[in-house]
Amino acid sequence: RRVSTPLPRPPRPASGGDGARHHRRKPVEGDEEAALIRGEARVEQRRIGAGDVDRGEHDRAIAALQSALAIQEKLNGPEHVAVAAVLYNLAVSYRHKHDFAAALEAIARAAKIHGARSPGSDRHRNELTMIASIANEAGDHQRALDATAVVLAFAKPAETPQTPAWAELERATALIALH
């Protein structure tokens, strides 16, 4: 049974403040390829805007984000926090297209990256809660419960009260749907 409640707009990943370390590869003299890749990554990320999603241009947003993801992975490696940020936005775009399997795959990978680097950070919690939100929308309420249980079990307090509140909302949505 599906619960018809409006979904809150998921928070966008914050820039910093979660204890995650942002490492940039130091350029080597004469390393034009690295400079080119960094430049491509900046250009690609500027092209991608919430406007594409807000205007319903999901395919365009997904294509641009996939390109940005490939660039970030090449530049920083597959486990970098910059990759996680692109994955989060990719999950949001897939979700808007109702491609829940792809959305869950992207957001689970982002959560794994932040879980390894800064477990319990607000970014990590928001990614886990996004898993729950997408799972609820897809009808997988048990997966939503499992994800929110992890979020709400962290001993370290959240940086903002909205972070655990969103997890509690998704947990309640899943519980109502299951009963």
Q: Is 78 exposed, middle or buried (0-12, 13-18, 19+ CB in 10 A)?
A: exposed
DSSP state of 65: H
Residue 123 has a CB neighbour count (10 Å cut-off) of 30
Residue 41 pLDDT: 55
Contacts 24+ apart (CB under 8 A), 105-108: 107/131, 107/134
DSSP state of 92: H
Residue 37 pLDDT: 59
Q: Which amino acid is at 105?
A: E
3-class DSSP assignment, residue 159: coil
pLDDT in tens, 25-39: 555 555 555 555 556
**Which of 9-18, 54-63, 160-169 bottoms out in mean pLDDT, i.e. has the lowest?**
9-18
Q: Which residues contact 159 (CB under 8 A, 6 or more apart)?
A: 17, 18, 121, 122
Closest Cα partner for 133 from 102, 162, 161, 95? 95
Residue 35 pLDDT: 58
